[in-house]
């Protein structure tokens, strides 16, 4: 905070001299100030020294985003109000002079940004891995349509004359929790396209596939919100999939898989 408060009107060298020689700043060592300066640079906080955002808020957000805190990826579930803020976030907020209510808002904002970026990376990895798995197990043409357009309402097309399949892939690295977002466009595609199938791809932290499962359209239809008036319409919703709603593999692929195929794409009973 001290660096960001002084740098807009002073050079780094002048700030260093100030920190070293002024009694008000003697509670930290020159080494600590240099470590703080490096941290600011690594987290991009030196790029806009005249930001209109309060210094404490900027530091708090950066500290959260770079912390690697185990609870942050699940903050939407674990932190549902200021009273549920973890101790590390509370201590940081107190040190920066940020009220608990504001700290909660910042946690929500950082989680949203981190979650969006992570979902994009994980989603792309899961789709690509699923395309490879299916391509290796069938002679049908497999097309990764989401690679060039998001207008289809699904990600992968299996072009089989008698058994076409349009797969909407949802990928996760979380264990014991399958949560994904369904857009209205994906839902409407599901309703009108009998070949549509939602598939969950379980990945490791290194983005290797460990499991594949299907979720029925009937289950999805029971979970989505309902439009209640003429002037309101839901555009996206989050679904938390219960374990009993997951069917291992992609059973609807069975008719087009090559003879002798085993592995993640088939139900456990078939593999077994």
Helices 100-137 & 55-66 angle (0-180, nearest 10): 30
**Contact at 8 Å (CB) between 225 and 182?**
no
The predicted-structure confidence for 234-250, as pLDDT tens digits, reads as follows 999 999 999 999 999 99
> What is the phi/psi pair of residue 196, to 5°?
-75, 140
pLDDT confidence tier of residue 272, bands split at 50, 70 and 90: very low
pLDDT at 268 over 50: yes
Mean pLDDT of 209-222: 96
The predicted-structure confidence for 1-37, as pLDDT tens digits, reads as follows 999 999 999 999 999 999 999 999 999 999 999 999 9
**Between 83 and 272, whose confidence is greater?**
83
The predicted-structure confidence for 55-84, as pLDDT tens digits, reads as follows 999 999 999 999 989 899 888 888 999 999
Pairwise CA distance, residues 130 & 170, whole Å: 10
pLDDT confidence tier of residue 269, bands split at 50, 70 and 90: very low
pLDDT more than 90, % of the chain: 82
pLDDT confidence of residue 108: 93
Instruction: Set out the domains of the chain in order of their start, with CATH numbers.
Output: 2-114 (no CATH), 130-271 (3.40.1350)
pLDDT more than 70, % of the chain: 98
Mean pLDDT of 220-231: 95
**Between 177 and 187, whose confidence is greater?**
187
pLDDT at 271 over 60: no
**Contact at 8 Å (CB) between 253 and 134?**
yes
In 3D, which of 198, 171, 176 has the Cα closest to residue 74? Answer: 176
Pairwise CA distance, residues 172 & 209, whole Å: 10
Q: pTM score, two decimals?
A: 0.74
The predicted-structure confidence for 127-166, as pLDDT tens digits, reads as follows 999 999 999 999 999 999 999 998 999 999 999 989 999 9
pLDDT confidence of residue 57: 94
């Amino acid at each position: 905070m001290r660096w960001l408060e002084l740098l807009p009107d002073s050079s780094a060298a002048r700030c260093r001299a100030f920190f070293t020689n002024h009694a008000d700043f003697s509670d930290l060592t020159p080494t600590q100030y240099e470590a703080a300066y490096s941290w600011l640079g690594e987290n991009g906080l030196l790029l806009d020294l005249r930001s209109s955002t309060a210094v404490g808020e900027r530091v708090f957000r950066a500290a959260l985003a770079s912390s690697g805190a185990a609870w942050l990826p699940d903050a939407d579930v674990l932190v549902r109000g200021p009273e549920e803020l973890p101790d590390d976030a509370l201590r940081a907020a107190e040190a920066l002079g940020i009220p608990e209510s504001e700290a909660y808002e910042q946690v929500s904002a950082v989680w949203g940004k981190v979650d969006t970026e992570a979902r994009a990376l994980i989603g792309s990895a899961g789709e690509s891995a699923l395309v490879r798995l299916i391509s290796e197990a069938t002679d049908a043409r497999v097309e990764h349509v989401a690679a060039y357009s998001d207008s289809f309402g699904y990600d992968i097309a299996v072009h089989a004359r008698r058994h076409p399949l349009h797969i909407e892939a949802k990928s996760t690295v979380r264990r014991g929790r399958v949560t994904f977002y369904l857009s209205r466009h994906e839902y409407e595609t599901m309703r009108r396209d009998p070949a549509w199938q939602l598939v969950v791809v379980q990945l490791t932290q290194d983005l290797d596939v460990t499991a594949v499962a299907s979720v029925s359209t009937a289950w999805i239809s029971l979970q989505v919100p309902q439009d209640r008036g003429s002037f309101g319409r839901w555009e996206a919703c989050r679904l938390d999939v219960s374990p009993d709603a997951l069917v291992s593999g992609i059973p609807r692929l069975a008719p087009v898989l090559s003879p002798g195929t085993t592995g993640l794409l088939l139900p456990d009973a078939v593999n077994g």
